[in-house]
Amino acid sequence: MNKLKRLTLNGFKSIKAIDIELHPLNILIGANGAGKSNLISFFKMLNEMMAGRLQQYIGTSGRAQSLLHFGPKITPQIEAKLEFEVDNGVDTYHIRLFHAAGDTLIFAEETLSFLQTGWPYPRTDELGAGHQETQISKSANEGKQTAKTLSFLLNRCRVYHFHDTSSTADVRQSCYVGDDRWLMSDAGNLAALLLRFRKENEGITYQRIIGTIRLIAPFFDDFVLEPDASNRVILNWRAKESDRVFG
C-alpha cells in the first residue's frame, strides 16, 4: 500500500502554493503556463536531491533565482511536504530550502515523521539546518527506521518523460539486454525491459502491454526484440498482416 498520498508545495518556479491529494493515477489538465511541467520538474529536483546532486541541479537549472517563485526577493524559500500512506500509518517528509549566498539553496529545515495508526502524535526526527545536501541517507545509514522508510519511498518518486523521439534519442538506440532492472527516465532501456517481461512469468505482463497498445493502435502486432551478437537489443515493431519491421 506504500504510496504518495499528499503533496504540499510552496514557492517552486511558477507554483506559488498548492496542496493536492494524490491517487494511483493522476491527470494534470491546464492552460499553457499553469504550472503542469513545473509540478513534474519538482519531482526531477527530488530525484537529483536523493542522489546527492541538489547543488548540481540548482547550478544547471539557472541557479536558485530560476527555481524560486518570481525570484528570491519575492520568494526567499521553497517549502515542500510529502505524505506517504504505508501499511501501519503515514510517513511525512518536510523540507524548507532557503536562498543563500552564491544564488543557491540550503536546507533551512529537514524533518521526518511517522504517525502510526491509532496514535495521537507522530514520532519526529529533525535532521538539522544549514546543509547543502539532504541528510536523509546519512540518517538511514545510522539505522533510523523512519529515515530508511522515507529514503526508500522518495527514491521511488520517479519522473518519466518520453518527449524525445528524435533520431538521436536513447529510446531509438540499442541497449544492453542486461540493463533491465528498472525503466530509465527517457525509456532508453525500454527494449531490454520488454525483453525481460516477455521471458518472465509466462509473458503475462508483456501481453498486457501488447493488449494496451492495441487499444490505441489496432494495427500493432508485436515488438521485434532480437539481441545481436554483442547482447544488445533495439526497439522495433511489426504491424499486423505485414512482415515489415519498423523502428
Pick the CATH number of 3-154 from 3.40.50.300, 3.40.50.2300, 3.10.20.30, 3.30.565.10: 3.40.50.300
| Residues in contact with 13: Cβ distance below 8 Å, sequence separation at least 6, in sequence order | 35, 38, 41, 42, 66, 67, 68, 69
pLDDT given for residue 37 in this prediction: 87
Prediction pTM value: 0.79
Q: Do the beta carbons of residue 107 and residue 80 sit within 8 Å?
A: no
Which residue in 6, 46, 39 sits closest to 136, CA to CA?
46
pLDDT given for residue 36 in this prediction: 87
pLDDT given for residue 28 in this prediction: 82
The rounded mean pLDDT for the chain is 94
Cell numbers placing 203:
509473458
Cell numbers placing 140:
538511514
The beta strands (E) that lie in the chain are given as: 3-12, 15-21, 77-86, 89-100, 104-116, 123-126, 175-176, 220-224, 232-233, 236-239, 245-246
Structure confidence by residue, pLDDT tens digits, 16-52 = 999 999 987 788 888 888 888 899 899 999 999 999 9
d(CA 207, CA 142): 43
CATH 3.40.50.300 placement within the chain: 3-154
Phi, psi of 59 (to 5 degrees): -65, -45
pLDDT given for residue 1 in this prediction: 62
Cell 511536504 -> residue: 81
Averaged over successive runs of 10 residues, the pLDDT of the chain (247 residues) comes to 90 94 83 86 94 96 96 96 96 98 97 96 96 97 96 89 86 95 91 96 95 96 96 96 91
